[in-house]
Amino acid sequence: MTKKILIANELPDEARMIVPSDYQVDYNPSDVPMSKADFVARLADRDGLICHIISTVDDDVIAAAPGLEVIANVAVGFNNIDVPAARRRGIVVTNTPDVLTETTADFAWALLMAAARRIVEADQYARSGQWSAWKWNLLWGADVHGKTLGVIGFGRIGRAVARRAQGFGMRVLYYDTTPADLPTERDVHASRVDFDTLLRDSDFVTLHTLLSPETRHLINETALREMKRTAILVNASRGPVVDEAALVRALTESWIAGAGLDVFEDEPKIHPGLLPLKNVVLAPHIASASRDTRLAMATLAVRNCIAVLGGKPPITPVP
């Protein structure tokens, strides 16, 4: 039987070309999320779905597609999908780990460095015409080398971020519910500590955890008040891991020194309190957005979908 798939949003030609020619493909080339009504209607007779994080694949959507066998998310995070609802119906859910690890770690570092050394402010100042002479006390920032990096969520991306810290001669602490094995800890020179110790001792706190009920608002007012007043928070995981209203107060009232954020609680909305602040660097959820990595993610999602529809095990099922 001809397999029918829905590609819910824009996907590069290189990835779509892998779809076997006898598949019937409904492709929505837009980067705007479909309305729920459209999504449900277009998914109803499909065997496979390839989607981005902008597609909310909830219980209703899944229930409306009785023949669905696979949901292939083009992302490592999968909080846009009701995975238990899919599993109850025997639907396989896949994500795109590994291929984006290094690119995302690079970007977390870009945010960290930009926030520490005030790169965005410096760029704005240099362009503005205000720069009339070299100034001794212009745009002083924080050192990165030799400081303590605290990694919350010590999975693939957290470890890749930690590995980069060696080049800066940093001490690395991590917090995760599961300890890493000793060779991994040694490899990246990291020590596991409890949550409060990490917050209290780190100069930079970087978030790399999945969004779950346990991690929602993990960084709340209490956590922010525990951090050093000189600390910088980096979030390239999921927005709701941080209580954004509390973060606005922390940055405004100098409980912490700064932040670098790629993700937000209610994307694409950004808490209005963040926008005027100079001590926060903001990015529109682009940590994995290098050309090579986005292509690799798209290709892996298509391969996952085809594998399942071809009766094979998924390459990267969600854990």
Does residue 238 carry a catalytic annotation?
yes
Per CB under 6 A, 83 contacts ligand GLV: no
Q: Does 288 bind ligand GLV (CB under 6 A)?
A: yes
The reply to whether 267 belongs to the active site is yes
Q: In what order do the strands lie in the sheet with 171-175?
A: 190-192, 171-175, 148-152, 204-207, 232-235, 258-261, 280-282
Query: How many residues are there in the chain?
Result: 319
Structure-block tokens of residue 53: 């994080």
The site that binds ligand GLV (CB under 6 A) totals a number of residues, namely: 6
> CA-CA distance, 54 to 63, in Å (whole number)?
19
- Name which position in 6, 72, 75, 223 contacts ligand GLV (CB under 6 A): 75
Residues 21-40 that bind ligand GLV (CB under 6 A): none
Q: Is residue 76 within the footprint of ligand GLV (CB under 6 A)?
A: yes
CB of residue 136 to ligand GLV, shortest distance in Å: 41
CB of 275 closer than 8 Å to CB of 287: no
Q: Between the CA of residue 198 and those of 34, 94, 174, 183, 204, what are the distances in Å?
A: 41, 32, 7, 21, 10
Q: Interacting stretch for ligand GLV, rule CB under 6 A, among 23-31, 73-81, 132-140, 243-251?
A: 73-81
Biggest alpha carbon–alpha carbon distance for the chain: 73
Q: Which is nearer to ligand GLV, 74 or 259 (CB)?
A: 74
- Measured from the CB of residue 217, what is the shortest distance to ligand GLV in angstroms? 18
- Nearer Cβ to ligand GLV (97/256): 97
The answer to whether 100 contacts ligand GLV (rule: CB under 6 A) is yes
Instruction: Verify whether residue 117 is a known catalytic residue.
Output: no
- When binding is defined by CB under 6 A, the residue of 15, 50, 69, 77 that contacts ligand GLV is 77
Which residues of this protein are in contact with ligand GLV, per CB under 6 A? 53, 75-77, 100, 288
Task: Show which residues are catalytic.
Answer: 238, 267, 285
